[in-house]
Amino acid sequence: RSQAVKLLLDQGADIKVKDKLEQTVLHLCAMKNNQSMAKVLLQRGSGLNSQDRLKRTPLLLAIIYRNQEIAKFFLHEGADVTIKDRLGTTPLHQAVAERMTEITKLIVSRNSINVNTKEKIVGRTPLHVACAKNYHRLTSILLDHGADVNLTTSFRKSPLHLTVLNGDTDMVPTLLSHTRNINMLSLGNKTALHNAVEGGHYNIANLLIQADAKVNSHDLQGLTPL
């Protein structure tokens, strides 16, 4: 097929033509994991960072489809890791969501990357995504590269809130070591300690109390963790 593509290009085919979804042939290569054809297209001037109707680049699509090898190829070719799709999702958000550790490492190693960038609607950072899914290794990688545990989502949830809600006891000490305000309030004025007690996660509650979480903080219903 790569030879056929070369022939068409030699005959003057428009390498930048888009379909009804505003996707180029390079986008299709990303979804089909066709690295050999992608290489030909890039050599002929295809747009590495071209965006489709949903503002997705070939790199983002490769990650969405969990096509690791072509995603690595795009990164090696210099794909822009800062471009967001229509929902504000970056390649880093998606790599974390898909638990693609190697791709995540490659992305965070870029000087241009902002590991604390937020999605548009929910307002999650990549660290929120990792904590929501209990991905310990990815959480550690993000923290090692400057992820801020004190940022909150649109619903005022911090990574600590999400970890506590999931009952992830093992990850709590790591987050506590980076947290500036253990008593941060989410919607409903609930602290992480409220979440721990309400979820029956008493080992986590003990960890939070040992780290000086307030036991007399009132939520909007007037309830304390006790």
- Tens of pLDDT, residue by residue over 163-190, are 999 999 999 999 999 998 999 999 899 9
**Per residue, what are the HEC states of the chain?**
CHHHHHHHHHCCCCCCCCCCCCCCHHHHHHHHCCHHHHHHHHHCCCCCCCCCCCCCCHHHHHHHCCCHHHHHHHHHCCCCCCCCCCCCCCHHHHHHHCCCHHHHHHHHCCCCCCCCCCCCCCCCCHHHHHHHCCCHHHHHHHHHCCCCCCCCCCCCCCHHHHHHHCCCHHHHHHHHCCCCCCCCCCCCCCCHHHHHHHCCCHHHHHHHHHCCCCCCCCCCCCCCCC
In the chain the domains, ranked by start, together with CATH numbers, are: 1-83 (1.25.40.20), 148-226 (1.25.40.20)
Q: What is the pLDDT of residue 13?
A: 53
Q: What is the pLDDT of residues 52-71, one digit of tens each?
A: 999 999 999 999 999 999 99
pLDDT at 10 over 60: no
* pLDDT reported for residue 8: 52
pLDDT tier for residue 77 given thresholds of 50, 70 and 90: very high
